[in-house]
Structure 1
Amino acid sequence: MANRIFKESQTYIGTWVMYFIILAEVPILILLIVLYATSEDKQEMAIALGVVLGTMALILSLILNLKLETRIDDDNISFRYLPFIRTWRQYPKAIIASAEVIKYSPISDYGGWGIKGNKTTKAYSVLGDEGILLDVGEKKKILIGTMKSKELTGFIENWMEE
């Protein structure tokens, strides 16, 4: 398996989360535009409309820019969760006691998707209910979500044997 590399990139673009946020924002915008049109104090309503539009744009921008990137090469398992974790977090093969692809419950096990966890367990996920669970020693576990569990399972089995 020398020089094989596993790469995965996950985003919210084109998922139900993005469409849900857009569908939630549209009625609010319509309501605000109607209120602006019927308001007597146009300046105050324009400020309110600007603040709400700005907030909605920031939320949508954040969701569209979230990206979980995973990279596994001969020596390391690396990941980053943009825009929060910009540099690659690397776990050398030598310190990984075990690595396995698991199915988990994001809500009951970790409290949802995103960056979750406590002192001993951290989870980094975008969507789905599958991930690679790393035991990196000192009672510390890392879960990195994946949407390519079948491909990753075979890759990890070969990677751990070498």
Structure 2
Amino acid sequence: MSEYTFVESQKFTQWWIWIFLLGIGMFLFYVQSNLGPIILITVSLLFLFMRLDTRVDARGISFKFFPFVKKEFMWSEISSARVVDYGFVGGWGIRLYTSYGTVYNVKGSKGLAIELKDGKKFCLGTQRPEELQNILSFKPSKNES
């Protein structure tokens, strides 16, 4: 990796999510004894394996919100990229129709707001906003992009 590379992988590690899932599972088991465990296991596995991977390098920005979305954008497609505090956008996961476009996050309120030259916007949550801001301050040279 060059010095102009930012890589971050985030997972849902909040303890309260697992308590919430356990509570829902117990409720479903009580209401639908044969369907409850299946739903609990499926949703728990989803949260266990779901993760947001972000990469910023001299080529551009790529991200994967496993198992839902995988995208890559070259710098030539990007109009702007900046670190923002997007506040609370109605929860975590994939949030649609925010002022930053679609927000992909797993926790916190800081992210990389990206606007493409075609006008589309999206935001990628980060737990390392200062490091990401430092990477964005580098400008890739013509021969790197």
Same fold per superposition (TM over 0.5):
yes
Normalising to structure 2: TM-score of the pair?
Answer: 0.81
Deviation at 1:84, TM superposition (A): 0.9
Deviation at 1:27, TM superposition (A): 5.0
Alignment partner, residue 136 of structure 2? 156
**5+ residue gaps, structure 1:** 33-44
**5+ residue gaps, structure 2:** none
Query: In structure 2, the residue corresponding to 1:106 is in which secondary structure?
Result: coil
Q: Find the aligned partners of 2:25 and 2:94 in 1 and give their Cα distance.
A: 28
Alignment partner, residue 96 of structure 2? 117
Alignment partner, residue 14 of structure 2? 15
Deviation at 1:161, TM superposition (A): 8.2
Query: In structure 2, the residue corresponding to 1:132 is in which secondary structure?
Result: strand
CA contact (8 A) 1:67 1:81 kept: yes
Aligned length in residues: 141
Aligned AA for 1:130?
K
| Greater percentage in helix | 1
Query: In structure 1, the residue corresponding to 2:119 is in which secondary structure?
Result: coil
Relative to structure 1, the CA distance from residue 122 to residue 160 in structure 2 (aligned partners, 3 Å threshold; closer, same or farther) is farther
Relative to structure 1, the CA distance from residue 81 to residue 17 in structure 2 (aligned partners, 3 Å threshold; closer, same or farther) is farther
Normalising to structure 1: TM-score of the pair?
Answer: 0.73
CA contact (8 A) 1:21 1:60 kept: no
Amino-acid identity (%): 28
Q: Find the aligned partners of 2:20 and 2:113 in 1 and give their Cα distance.
A: 30
Deviations 1:10-63 (A, max 9, x none): 111x3234333245247548x84xxxxxxxxxxxx9xx4221111111111111
Alignment partner, residue 24 of structure 1? 23
Pick one of 86, 100, 117 that aligns with 1:104: 86
Task: Report the structure number with the largest CA radius of gyration.
Answer: 1
Q: Find the aligned partners of 1:62 and 1:3 in 2 and give their Cα distance.
A: 34
Deviation at 1:100, TM superposition (A): 0.7
Deviation at 1:2, TM superposition (A): 5.1
CA contact (8 A) 1:8 1:70 kept: yes
Question: RMSD of the alignment, in Å?
Answer: 2.8
Alignment partner, residue 146 of structure 1? 126
Deviation at 1:115, TM superposition (A): 1.4
Q: Find the aligned partners of 2:2 and 2:46 in 1 and give their Cα distance.
A: 37
Structure-to-structure mapping, 1:44-59, within 5 angstroms = 48-59=32-43
Deviation at 1:6, TM superposition (A): 1.0
Relative to structure 1, the CA distance from residue 74 to residue 89 in structure 2 (aligned partners, 3 Å threshold; closer, same or farther) is same
